[in-house]
Structure formats: C-alpha cells, structure tokens
C-alpha cells in the first residue's frame, strides 16, 4: 500500500447525506473496481472519498470473510490489507483517544479498538485485559457509560451500530472473564448493555435488541452490587421481554436459550413463592429441551440436565426423597455427555453438583451417601485446581468441608478438623469484597464447624470463633438480600447464644432471623406460604421472647409476641387505605375491590382444608377442583391488578405494605388508669406460658412479664380442653361455672391483678385458645385487690366486676382501629337484619324495640333479608353511613374451616366471611353487634391468625364488634342487646355500656324485668304478657345470674 497519498477524512455527519441503500450500492461498485484493478487502488480510492467511512471498513471486512469462505483467499487478503490501511491512515477511528484523556479512557479505547480489529477474538483481547486487571473497576464501568452515551448520541447510524457491536462483545467478555474483581466485571458488562440499547432498539434492530436484553438480564442474575432480590427481578423482567421477539416459531434456538436463562432466573429468585418459582424453573428448562434435544445439541442438552438437577434438588412440591433421586438422575445423565476427556471443566461441574445431591439424599444409607459426596468432590478437584479455576476450587472446598463436618465414618474429631481446613482454604479465594455471597456461605459453615469442634485447647474459644463466623456471614446475609440464608444463620447464632445464656448474642441472632421471616412474608404471594413462614419458625419467636425477658428487655419481648401473631389481618388493615398518589377515585375503588378479592382468594387457599380444595369425585372426574377454580380466580384478579398498575404507570405499588417491626405508642394506646394484659402460649408446652402486664404511670410505660411454669401450662391446657369438650353438649350449662373457676385458677389471675390497685380499665389480648374463653366472666377472689379497698364482700366476683374489660386481637391491631379517621358528625343511623329465618321469636322482639330508638333506621326483616337486598345501591349506601349495625339472626362458625363462618339470611342464603370481606363497606360504623350464636369465635392455630367473622367486619370498617362465644339463650340475649343500646348514651365507650348491661341482667329480678319492659320500654300489654310467660321459666330472684345467660358476649376492638 506504500505510495498511497493521504486522503481527506470524512466527517461522520456526511454519511447522513447519502441514503443507506445507495451507500451499500456504492460500496459494492467500489469493491468491484478495486478487485478488477488492484494496481490502481490508490487512484480508485482517491476518487471515492465521499464513501470512505466506517461503514465501508465493515463492508470490506465482511466481504473478505465471505470471499475466504468461497476459497478466494488472495482476494480476501487484498481487501483486508486495504481495510487495515484505511483504518490506520485515512479513516478516523471512533476509538481515537483525546490528547488529555485519563488513563481509564485510554485503556477503554485500546480495548474497544482491539475488539474491533480482531473482530472479538478472545485470544487477542485476553492478554490486554490480564495486563491491566487494575483497571477493571467500577470506574471503568462509569467511563464506559459516559463515553458511550455521548458518542452514540452524535455519530451516524452505521458507526453507532459498529460501536455498539464492539461494546456488546466487550460486555460479553466481562461476564465470562475470570480476571479482576467479579463484582466490577458485572457492572462493566451492565453499563455496556444498557448504553447500546439506545442503538439496538426493538423497532430498528429487533434481533440485536433481544440479544442485548437477554445478556443484560443474565448479567443481573449474577450481579453483586445492590439488593440481590431486586437484581433478580430486573433480570427476570429483561429476559421475559426477549420472548416478544424470540418466538418458538421464528427463532427456536434463541427461544430455547431464553427459556434456559429464564429458568435459571426463577431458580435463583428470592421474591414470590419459592415453590412456584422452582416449578416455573423446571417447566422452563423442560420447554427448552423441546429444541435442545440430546441428538442434535448434546452439550446444551447436558447443560439443561444440570439445571434441572439443581431445580429438583431444591424442589418443595412433591416428595423430597423422589425429587433428590430425580436430581441425581439428571446429573448422571449430564455426565454421559460431559466426560472428562472431552469436557473436563463441565465434567468437574457435574461431579460437584452430584456431590450436593448425594449430600442431601434421603434414600440409602446416610454414611454411604456421604462417602459418595466426598468422592465426587475429590474427583472434581482433579480438574478444579486453584491455579486454573480458583472460584470453582474454592466452591468445591466449601462442599467438601460440609461433607467432612457431617461425615459418619472415620474419626469425628479428625473429620471436623478437615472441614475447618477446607473452609479456610476456600476463604483464600472467597474474599468479602469480590465474592461476598460465597464468603458468607463459607463463614456460616465455619461457624457450624467451630460449634461442634472437638479439638482445640479451649472449647470456649471455639464457641467465640463460631459466633464471629456467624456474625461475619450476617454482614452479607441481610434480611432483604438473602432472607433464607439470613434466617438460617440468624437462627444458628441465636441458638448458640441461647445455649450459652449469652442473651445479647441470642437476641442479635433471633432478631435477624425474624426480620428475614418478615421480609419473606412480604415478598410471598401465597397466604399459605406466609402462614407457614411463621408456623415453621415459632421456636425462634419463643426463644427470642425468653432471651429478651432474661436480658430484661421487656418491650422487645412483647414486640416479639406481637410479631408472631395476627399478621395477615394486621397487614390488610394497615394497607386498606393505601393507594397510588395519581389514582382517581374510580381507580381507587377498583384497587379496593381487587385488594379484597385477592385477599379472600389467598385466604381460601390458606385456610380451607385440603379435602375440601381437592375432593375425590367419581361422578364428575373431569370437573376442575375447587382449588384450581380459586387459583384461576386469583390469577385473573392479579392480572387485572397488573393491568391497572400499567394504566397508572406505577409498577412499584403493592396491595399490602410491610408492617413496621415496632410497638405502637403505648402511651397513646393506654389511657390514664388503664392496664393491658397480653398472654403468650408458646407451641412448646414445656416452656410454660407468659402474661405481659402493661401499665402507665404518667408518661412512663412499665412492662412486667410474668412467666408460668410447664406445670402451670399443663393445668391451663387441661382446663381449656375440659371447657371446650362441653361445647354443644347437654352438660354445657351445668359444667360452665366449674369450668370458669378452673380456668381462673389455671391463669392465676390474682397474681396478675395484685399489681393493678390504681387501675380502672383493663384491655385483654388473648392468645390462641384463650380467644375462646370469656375472660371477663372468670371468677376472681377479693384477696389480691384488698389493698385497694375493693375486697369487701367480693369473693368470687367476675373479673369485669373489678374492671371494665375490653378485648383486642393484638396491640398493633388495636392501634390500627384507634387510628382510623374520626367518625363523621354525630349520627344515630341504625341498620339491622331481623330474623331472616323467621324462627327466632325474640329476635323480632329485639329489633322491633331497637328500631324505635333510632332515626334514621333501616331494617331488612324476614324474607327481605337476602343477599340481593344487601347489594341494592340504596342499602349499600345506607350501610356506608350507618353508625350502628345489628344482626339478629342465626350464626355458625367451624374452627376447621373458619372462612365458612356465616350469618344465616332468608331463603337459606348465607352472608359468609367471604361476602363480608369482599363486599361490605361500613367505614362509619361505631358498633356492630352480632346477636347470633358463636359469632365471636375465631380460629386458634399456633400462629394466632385471628380468622373469624369479627376479623372480616374489622376489615369492612367497623371499630368495635360485639359477638358471642357460644349458643346464646334467645330471650336473655334479646334483653341484653336492648339494655346495651339503652346504656350507650350514658357511657363513653361500648365496653362500659356492655358491662353495665351485663351487670343489670345478672342482678335484676323477674319482676324488675317486667317493670323495665313496661315503664321504660313502653311495651303494650300483649308484648308484656308474652315476656311474662317466658320469664316464668326462670328463677324469680335473679333469673339471668348464671354466666351462660350473659357472659357469651364481649366487646372486641376500639
């Protein structure tokens, strides 16, 4: 090429003057001239200065490549020489370095030019990167982002395409190269992919756009910077978008690759249902196998088998032992292709994964499985040397350390020493900066090894080292980044501290574990999973409570109790008025409706028995099960919600918000001279039970925990069992007084009440089965209170004679109810359902008397009380404004299926928990009374979820619910309800009014009732005669003194 003169440089903007199609034709014509007259190349080029640009260089290189494939090597070399000369002497390189550029930019330009010149040849680029590992940093990522953004915005489209290709090759290389810092390498790759998307748009370059999105999504899967969970969500979003272009029909290979990468994303995914994520991963991998079969794509097929093995190893659905056997089969299948001779690295990887499956294996002898585990790891280390594959070498040492730690054969002490040695070897590679997740895993495993170490001069020092290792792991395993690992490590740290009675360490570990549980609950989409997360970790809450009490951190102990109970209702209540800022009133209503529907579908799946959800039926074998129908409804509702978020352009909005881990302001919760007692019944009866007494002295809150022994717990459990055994039996009325005395003794109420000499009001927060007990009616002797002057003549009086008793599901729910907006202007609006089944004589009497007290009032009587009537706009509107709502009807509750609780309407219809939850809107209701049987009952699982009609009405909007704990006697219940409404104007709270009404009912004589009916209620003579005849069935002096007549009803809520 010597003798060629310097040709003028073409400005990038000049390319815009020529149509792209015309330019390609000009390129073709120029190349034809050069090949026809190679000796005239200088003159020919000099005459075509207007098309000597970067596009022409690309055209020359591609033309040379094709000609070489045709066997025309001489012509191909000729065109390459021309391209090289133009690149070096004539055409400006886009990677020319400005005179004052810093070293990082100079290095970036050098790398991109090398990639461009070598057409992405790894062998030519690697030495440059290896010699400059100190420059592979986050700074390079930022330099790349800034330079590419500026450059791509001003150059012509062809040059922009060329630069984008080079950046894509660089980013791909940074994802794969094992040089420098892994975290920085991924950031460099992400910066590159993000910037070239301005060139590779879906409209202009759909295939390049899809490839870039796929690479970007994959980079997010392995990103270290930022929250792990959020990175995975971004990765999933990017990879999913690729399927808009890479369809199975048009791009089967790319589609299969996308399915595989998306499967890996779901395999890693932290948010959402873990079980569903794993099923999604398995299905995606299986889909990819439709294209990547063993016959045509052996290597890719083997890779998918590896991924399937890992998915089955972690699978939650199905039998654990079967899943592990499937995982082993997948890994062994991969080894049929990945032999050591042809694929040494992949062979070692398969051996490594097979070792993990044998380690977890359930079938076979445990000792044999562990020996197979060790053998597989040792085989992998024949390839995975520290020099050639340091990361894989270190990862294998982690697994080998875990195997030695649990090994059965050989000397136990020696095995643990080997485990420690393996883990310490891994830490030589896995540093906290470069490999934080693997470093944390190693630290966790080291903690386990030191915990069980036999050798060593000082056992206490081993324990200290274990604590240091667990704490180190928790620096990375945060609740939001790695909740499952945080739960595991926090639990281990807490247990170690608890065993040593080092309460600070125990609290530190358990606190992190509980935060991880709560984070996982927030991300879970299934109510069943949310419930399981707490149910499976109740031992953590229990030990945390004990550790906090031993550490005299009573507020934290009480908060832990609160965090273990009634979470679903609290989350729903806290989120009930949560809306996007830009939502219109109509959109807010749609969100509210969807929130209710999604919540009830989730609760149906969580609280309904499996036999009901998946019944076996021979008559209709092809019909979908109730579970599948509910899941379809849930899926449809979730899709509607996503569509609504797209309409609002607010993708980050969620239907429920995470409940903050803090107690409410107890000074605001407890008025002056008010005390609160909250019980806690751990799942382990051997731990006894607790009662937290909370009192207020001016602005100071005092929390006093009372612990009751395992023997005390045994007495309490037996007392509850005996009480419940009488439900629905003829012995109920006869046995109730004795049962209440036994329960009072088992709860040792005098011990608690002895500290309440200055208290005038009592809030009770039961736990589990205590929700079913009429605590306000338990007899309390006078001696504990004699110091306050209350003891005279008070032997065996009901608790509510000493204090007005208010109930609440939890402190946090009570706080939520108290924080609801103030009720609108004073109102006496009254809505009632009256005897829909027309078989309750005194329900008619009750409502007819009550309706005279209110204006306005609306009553749906007898056959008018239907679902259709309740759904009519005028009745819905009246309910929304009603201050008092009264249901006088039949009710039913089944603890095994609490969502089937209902109130009986006309025509055999039911107003169910689901109907109330999804359709009823009563934001202005001060008091809702369920004058029906068993309407105050709730489910009593260890998680204390508080599921019953009361929780549904709280969600619907009422502040206070009065319901019954057993089948109330009809006439006495009617009298009590009427008296309650008469007492309301005289008292500042529902609790005081109910207490006064119950006291009146207990003490009034038969004649006193008639006088009251005649003089105060102004009943006519016919009504008086009916009541008088009914009263003849009762004792004349105190007809309703027994607890069965008055104690069933209690006030729950504000």
pLDDT (tens digit per residue) in 249-301: 999 999 999 999 999 999 999 888 888 999 999 999 999 999 999 999 999 99
Q: pLDDT value at position 250?
A: 94
pLDDT of 89 reads 64
- Assessment of whether the complete model's pTM goes beyond 0.85: no
Does 747 score more than 60 pLDDT? yes
- Checking if the pLDDT of 901 tops 80, the result is yes
pLDDT band at 98 (very low <50, low <70, confident <90, very high): low
Percent of the chain at pLDDT > 90 equals 56
The pLDDT score that the predictor gives to residue 612 is: 62
* Kind plus residue range of the DSSP H or E element containing 717: helix 710-725
Q: DSSP readout, 551-585?
A: TT-HHHHHHHHHHTSSHHHHHHHHHTT---TT--H
So what's the pLDDT on residue 201? 93
Position 982 pLDDT exceeds 90: yes
In terms of Cβ atoms closer than 10 Å to its own Cβ (0-12, 13-18, 19+), residue 878 is middle
Rounded mean pLDDT, 384-403: 94
Q: Poorest-confidence range of 297-306, 413-422, 532-541?
A: 532-541
Burial class (CB in 10 A: 0-12, 13-18, 19+), 786: middle
Whole-number pLDDT of residue 368: 96
Q: Is the pLDDT of residue 21 over 70?
A: no
| Cross-strand bridge partners of residue 705 | 692
Sign, CA dihedral 235-236-237-241, equals positive
Instruction: Output the DSSP codes for 371-394.
Output: HHHHHHHHHHTTT--TTT-HHHHH
pLDDT at 500: 94
| Predicted pLDDT at 866 | 94
Fold designation for 820-1004+1039-1053: Rossmann fold (3.40.50)
Domains of the chain, by residue range, sit at 1-92, 95-199, 227-291, 292-367, 384-476, 481-564, 579-614+625-656, 669-811, 820-1004+1039-1053
Please state which of the ranges 249-253, 414-418, 576-580 shows the lowest mean pLDDT: 576-580
Work out the pLDDT band at 607, boundaries 50, 70, 90: low
Per-residue pLDDT, averaged over 76-82, amounts to 84
Residue 18 pLDDT class (50, 70, 90 cuts)? very low
- Model confidence at 756: pLDDT above 90: no
Of residues 307 and 570, the one with the higher pLDDT is 307
pLDDT band at 5 (very low <50, low <70, confident <90, very high): very low
pLDDT tens digit sequence for 867-877: 999 999 999 99
Span 723-739, pLDDT tens digits: 999 887 888 888 999 99
Rounded to a whole number of angstroms, the distance between the first and last alpha carbons of the chain is: 93
940 or 153: which leads in pLDDT: 153
Question: What is the spatial order of strands in the sheet that 910-912 belongs to?
Answer: 891-892, 902-904, 910-912
What is the percent of the chain where pLDDT is above 70?
A: 92
Say which residue, 595 or 611, is predicted with more confidence: 595
- Which pLDDT belongs to residue 429? 94
How far, in Å, CA of 978 to CA of 973, rounded?
9
273 vs 528: CA distance, rounded Å: 10
Pick the range with the lowest mean pLDDT from 64-68, 314-318, 649-653, 905-909: 649-653
pLDDT at 54: 66
Going by C-alpha positions, the residue among 252, 345, 262 that lies closest to residue 302 is 345
**Residue 1005: is it exposed, middle or buried by C-beta count within 10 angstroms (0-12/13-18/19+)?**
middle
Least confident of 45-49, 106-110, 142-146, 394-398: 45-49
* Amino acid 594: pLDDT: 81
Among 237-246, 290-299, 576-585, the minimum mean pLDDT is found in 576-585
Picking from 130-144, 401-415, 627-641, 818-832, which range would have the lowest pLDDT averaged per residue? 627-641
1007: left (phi over 0), alpha (psi -120 to 50) or beta: alpha
Q: Are strands 805-807 and 884-888 parallel, antiparallel or unpaired?
A: unpaired
- What is the mean predicted confidence (pLDDT) over 539-555? 95
**Which of 11-20, 215-224, 315-324, 345-354 shows the lowest per-residue confidence on average (mean pLDDT)?**
11-20
Using an 8 Å Cβ cutoff, are 441 and 481 in contact? no
Write the pLDDT tens digit of every residue in 808-865. 999 999 998 998 888 877 778 999 999 999 998 899 999 999 999 998 999 999 999 9
pLDDT at 764 exceeding the cut of 80: yes
| CATH code for the part of the protein at 384-476 | 1.25.40
CA 975 to each of CA 52, 892, 1030, 1038: distance values in angstroms, whole numbers, following the listed order: 102, 21, 12, 14
Averaged pLDDT for residues 496-510:
96
Rg of the Cα trace of the chain?
37
Structure tokens at 589: 């209503």
Task: Say whether pLDDT at 716 is over 90.
Answer: yes
pLDDT at 618 over 70: no
Task: Look up residue 135 and give its DSSP letter.
Answer: G
Collect all residues with Cβ–Cβ distance below 8 Å to 502 and sequence separation of at least 6: none
Q: Does the structure show a pLDDT above 90 at 895?
A: no
CB 667 within 8 A of CB 565: no
Segment holding 1046, helix H or strand E: helix 1043-1046
Whole-number pLDDT of residue 15: 34
Banded model confidence at residue 652, pLDDT cuts 50, 70, 90: low
pLDDT of res. 577: 75
**pLDDT tens track for 438-456:** 999 999 999 999 999 998 7
Place of tokens 């966790």: 444
How confident is the model at residue 9, as a pLDDT? 26
| Distant-in-sequence, close-in-space partners of 654: CB < 8 Å, separation ≥ 6 | none
Name the strands in the sheet holding 689-697, side by side, starting at the edge strand that comes first in the sequence. Answer: 700-708, 689-697, 674-680, 761-765, 805-807, 1049-1053, 960-964, 927-931, 884-888, 830-834, 857-861
């Amino acid at each position: 090429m010597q003798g060629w003169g310097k040709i003028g440089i073409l400005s990038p903007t000049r390319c815009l003057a020529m149509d792209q199609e015309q330019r390609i034709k000009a390129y073709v014509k120029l190349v034809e001239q050069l090949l026809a007259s190679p000796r005239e190349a200088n003159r020919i080029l000099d005459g075509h200065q207007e098309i000597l640009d970067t596009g022409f260089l690309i055209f020359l290189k591609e033309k040379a490549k094709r000609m070489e494939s045709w066997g025309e090597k001489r012509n191909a070399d000729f065109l390459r020489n021309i391209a090289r000369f133009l690149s070096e002497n004539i055409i400006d390189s886009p990677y020319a370095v400005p005179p004052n550029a810093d070293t990082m930019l100079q290095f970036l330009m050098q790398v991109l030019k090398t990639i461009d010149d070598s057409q992405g040849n790894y062998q030519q680029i690697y030495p440059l990167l290896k010699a400059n590992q100190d420059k592979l940093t986050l700074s390079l990522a930022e330099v790349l982002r800034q330079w590419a953004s500026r450059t791509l915005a001003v150059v012509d489209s062809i040059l922009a395409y060329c630069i984008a290709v080079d950046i894509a090759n660089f980013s791909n290389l940074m994802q794969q190269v094992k040089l420098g810092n892994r975290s920085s390498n991924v950031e460099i790759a992400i910066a590159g992919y993000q910037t070239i998307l301005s060139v590779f748009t879906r409209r202009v370059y759909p295939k390049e756009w899809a490839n870039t999105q796929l690479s970007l999504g994959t980079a997010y899967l392995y990103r270290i910077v930022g929250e792990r969970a959020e990175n995975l969500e971004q990765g999933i979003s990017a990879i999913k978008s690729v399927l808009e272009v890479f369809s199975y029909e048009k791009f089967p290979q790319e589609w299969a690759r996308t399915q595989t990468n998306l499967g890996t994303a779901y395999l890693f995914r932290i948010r959402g249902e873990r079980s569903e994520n794993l099923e999604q991963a398995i299905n995606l991998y299986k889909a990819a196998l439709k294209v990547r079969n063993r016959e045509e794509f052996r290597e890719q097929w083997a890779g998918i088998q590896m991924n399937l093995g890992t998915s089955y190893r972690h699978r939650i659905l199905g039998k654990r032992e079967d899943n592990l056997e499937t995982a082993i089969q997948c890994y062994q299948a991969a080894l049929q292709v990945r032999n050591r001779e042809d694929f040494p690295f992949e062979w070692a990887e398969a051996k490594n994964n097979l070792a993990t499956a044998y380690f977890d294996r359930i079938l076979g002898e445990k000792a044999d499985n562990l020996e197979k585990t060790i053998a597989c790891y040792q085989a992998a280390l024949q390839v995975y040397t520290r020099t050639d594959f340091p990361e894989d070498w270190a990862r294998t040492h982690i697994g080998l350390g875990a195997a030695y730690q649990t090994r059965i054969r050989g000397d136990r002490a020696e095995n643990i020493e080997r485990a420690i040695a393996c883990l310490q070897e891994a830490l030589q590679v896995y540093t906290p900066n470069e490999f934080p997740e693997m470093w944390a895993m190693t630290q966790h495993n080291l903690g386990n090894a030191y915990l069980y170490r036999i050798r060593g001069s000082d056992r206490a020092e081993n324990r200290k080292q274990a604590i240091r290792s667990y704490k180190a792991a928790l620096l990375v395993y945060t609740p939001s980044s790695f909740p499952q690992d945080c739960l595991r490590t926090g639990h281990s740290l807490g247990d170690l501290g608890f065993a040593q009675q080092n309460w600070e360490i125990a609290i530190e570990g358990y606190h992190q574990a509980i935060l991880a549980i709560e984070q996982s609950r927030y991300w879970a989409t299934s109510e069943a999973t949310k419930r399981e997360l707490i149910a499976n970790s109740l031992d953590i809450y229990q030990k945390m409570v004990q550790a906090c009490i031993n550490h005299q951190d009573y507020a934290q102990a009480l908060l832990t109790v609160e965090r273990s109970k009634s979470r679903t209702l609290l989350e729903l209540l806290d989120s009930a008025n949560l809306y996007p800022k830009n939502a219109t009133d109509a959109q807010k209503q749609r969100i509210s409706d969807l929130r209710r529907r999604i919540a009830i579908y989730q609760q149906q799946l969580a609280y309904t028995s499996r036999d009901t959800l998946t019944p076996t039926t021979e008559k209709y074998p092809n019909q979908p099960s109730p579970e599948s129908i509910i899941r379809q409804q849930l899926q449809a509702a979730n899709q509607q919600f996503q569509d609504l978020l797209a309409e609002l352009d607010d993708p980050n909005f969620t239907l429920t918000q995470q409940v903050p881990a803090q107690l409410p302001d107890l000074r605001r919760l407890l008025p002056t001279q008010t005390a609160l007692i909250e019980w806690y019944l751990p799942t382990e009866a051997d731990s006894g039970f607790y009662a937290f007494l909370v009192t207020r002295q001016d602005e100071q809150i005092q929390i006093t925990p009372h612990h009751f022994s395992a023997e005390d717990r045994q007495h309490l459990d037996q007392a509850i069992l005996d009480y419940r055994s009488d439900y629905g039996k003829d012995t109920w009325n006869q046995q109730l007084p004795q049962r209440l005395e036994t329960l009072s003794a088992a709860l040792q109420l005098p011990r608690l009440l002895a500290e309440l000499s200055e208290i005038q009001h009592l809030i009770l927060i039961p736990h589990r089965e205590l929700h079913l007990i009429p605590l306000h009616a338990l007899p309390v002797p006078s001696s504990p209170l004699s110091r306050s002057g209350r003891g005279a003549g008070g032997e065996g009086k009901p608790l509510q004679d000493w204090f007005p008793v208010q109930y609440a599901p939890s402190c946090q729910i009570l706080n939520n109810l108290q924080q609801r907006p103030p009720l609108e202007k004073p109102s006496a609006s009254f809505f009632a359902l009256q005897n829909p089944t027309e078989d309750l004589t005194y329900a008619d009497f009750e409502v007819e008397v009550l309706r005279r007290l209110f204006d306005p009032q609306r009553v749906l009587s007898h056959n008018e009380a239907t679902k259709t009537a309740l759904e009519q706009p005028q009745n819905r509107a009246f309910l929304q404004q009603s201050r008092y709502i009264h249901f006088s009807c039949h009710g039913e509750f089944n603890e095994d299926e609490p969502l089937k609780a209902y109130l009986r309407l006309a025509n055999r219809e039911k107003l169910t928990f689901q109907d109330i939850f999804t359709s009823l809107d009563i934001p202005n209701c001060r008091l809702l009374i369920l004058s029906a049987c068993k309407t105050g009952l709730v489910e009593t699982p260890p998680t204390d979820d508080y599921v019953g009609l009361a929780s549904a009405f709280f969600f619907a909007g009422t502040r206070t619910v009065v319901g019954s704990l057993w089948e109330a006697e009809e006439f006495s219940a009617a009298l009590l309800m009427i008296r309650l409404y008469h007492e309301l104007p005289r008292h500042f709270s529902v609790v005081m009014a109910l207490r006064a009404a119950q006291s009146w009912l207990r003490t009034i004589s038969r004649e006193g009732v008639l006088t009251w009916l005649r003089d105060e209620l102004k009943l006519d003579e016919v009504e008086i005669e009916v009541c008088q005849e009914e009263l003849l069935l009762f004792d004349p002096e105190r007809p309703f003194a027994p607890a069965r007549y008055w104690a069933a009803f209690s006030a729950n809520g504000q």
